[in-house]
Amino acid sequence: MFGSALALASGVRLALIAVALIAGFAVLDSSAPAWKVVSDSVNRWDAPHFISIAQNGYLPSDEARLFIVFFPLFPLAVSLVHYFVPDYVAAGLFVSLAASVAAGFFLQALVRIDYDFPTAKRALWAFFLFPTAYFLALPYTEAIFLACAIASVYFARKGNWMHAGIAGFLASLARIHGLALFPALALEAWMQLNGGKLLPSFLQKRTKANSRQRLSLQTSTLSKSSSHLTLSSLAPFAWILLVPIGFAAYLALNASVLGSPLAFMEIQRNHWHHAITFSLGFFAEAARTVSSQPPSYFNALVFLAPLAALAFAVLVLLASAKWMRPSYQVFAWALLLPSLADSWPISLPRYLLAAFPLFIAIAVWTKDSRARTLVLTASAVLMAALFFLFALGRWAF
């Protein structure tokens, strides 16, 4: 499984390098060496901010104070790798490569718990060829977040709650979406404690019985359940607390650098235009814009793409709800729903990359080779087109 993840991650990167060279030489008419063209093509938008944090840490003054909105795990990893890799961008690319291979490995291992090896391979391909999967090859936080998040769920499924909690802690230091692990892991722990069932046994559907028998059964079940609630059975819930503790560490970083644990929220609102609205205002505006204005690059990437991403995620999650493990569903919805309350969720297509249950659903539904070829080809072409725009310096999530 490791070899498959490494081969696919490397192959995708080689293809993206080719796209970057075409963008740099054929469109931007660059005269720089090929390595510089590739370096410049990946070091755009948020990437320089992560590199700046890796170089200088979090600073309280001038423009650098705005970078507190970027979580610390990825830049910390880059700064450590920089001891061995002299160039910071190259160090960032190395971290993303290693983390994306780890994410691919754990995704396959997670799928193998419930399905066969071919299904795990299909999930891996769907993951690495997802339209926004080029962010796995950039000095961004996506790869390291996914490695930690999927590892956390995998260890939880295997009953290794200490490792699940540690990986969840790291995920919450990588992105705020790490908090989506908390309800997912809590539900997983409950289901394992309850024999794999979502509801307590006395609430399960039963054949008709008289009320006295039912009451007797309920009493017996409650008595048995209470006898199982030992300290060891509750230990998973203690390890799960590492997830919000990771986020608390990020809040402490805010307080240390800028004097307030919620400084990132003010900066997100005032500079990055992200505020909690508890409404669907952005998506309503996006629908009006797309339906009433002529097609344009701005409308397509800023309005249409988030709408399409939302519709895709909702449809896949609803269609898979009957058979997908409930903890996976909870994670995906917990990851998705905050974007509905965001006043400016233009990066939603990128955030969907973290919703690994989507790739499990795609893997289950694409057993037919023709359907699989069609889906993966369309996805890969779209990814190449989006990365081409990114390499040109255009907005692509």
- For 107-147, the pLDDT digits (tens) are 999 999 999 999 999 999 999 999 999 999 999 999 999 99
- Non-local CB neighbours of 60 within 8 Å, separated by 6+ positions: 257, 258, 259
Residue bearing tokens 């087109």: 385
What is the C-alpha separation between 73 and 91, in angstroms, rounded?
14
Average pLDDT over residues 309-336: 96
215 is written with which tokens? 């009451």
| Banded model confidence at residue 15, pLDDT cuts 50, 70, 90 | very high
Q: Which residues in 63-195 belong to E strands, given as ranges?
A: none
Q: Which amino acid makes up residue 378? A: A
Rounded to two decimals, what is the model's pTM? 0.91
Lowest mean pLDDT among 164-173, 266-275, 319-328: 266-275
- Residue 197's pLDDT band, with cuts at 50, 70 and 90, is confident
Section 22-27 average pLDDT: 95
What's the one-letter identity of residue 384? A
User: What pLDDT is recorded for position 204?
Assistant: 59
The pLDDT-based confidence of 217 (bands split at 50, 70, 90) is very low
